[in-house]
Structure formats: structure tokens, C-alpha cells
Amino acid sequence: MRKIAAPLTLINHLIDRPIILGLEHTDFALLVLTLALSVITFTSGRTNMLQGVVHLLLFVAYILLIFQA
């Protein structure tokens, strides 16, 4: 994440304009949940069925929110 953040910060200062991610509130919440869950999963060394089910539920929520009118 730091490898991406450093160039973006540099570009932000060079063009003197803010960089906007462009996500709605629900999309941002899903992004934060996904990143947090991924950190927990990959740092634990071993995964279990519960972590896999939570990943799948998060994916289903993302799919449902894509097709929401």
C-alpha cells in the first residue's frame, strides 16, 4: 500500500489538486472491510472455514450492491 501511496502523494503535490477516490459510502465501507479482512486472513498464517465464509459473504454483498437500482 505504501508503494502506491507515495507516488500518489507526489503527483498530488505536483499538480496541486486533490486526488479523489470517487467511491460512494457503501463502496468505501466494502473496500475498508475487504482490506481489513484480507489483512486478518493473510497475517494469521492459517485460514479456517469461518474466514472463507466471511470472504464469500462480503463478495455476495458486493454483487448485490452492484445490481441494486
Domain-located, residue 18: no
pLDDT given for residue 68 in this prediction: 80
Residue 6 confidence (pLDDT) above 80: no
Domain-located, residue 34: yes
> Average pLDDT, whole number, for the chain?
83
Q: Give the distance, in angstroms, between the CA of residue 18 and the centroid of all CA atoms in the same chain.
A: 20
| pTM metric for this prediction | 0.62
Give the integer Cα–Cα distance in Å for 42 and 1: 15
25, three cell numbers: 459510502
pLDDT given for residue 44 in this prediction: 85
> Please, which pLDDT band fits residue 2 given cuts at 50, 70 and 90?
low
Residue 23 confidence (pLDDT) above 80: no
- What is the tally of structural domains in the chain? 1
Domain-located, residue 66: yes
Range of the domain at 59: 23-69
Q: Answer whether 47's CB lies under 8 Å from 40's CB.
A: no
Domain-located, residue 1: no
Domain-located, residue 7: no
Residue 63 confidence (pLDDT) above 80: yes
Name which of 21, 23, 24, 53 is nearest 37 in CA terms: 53
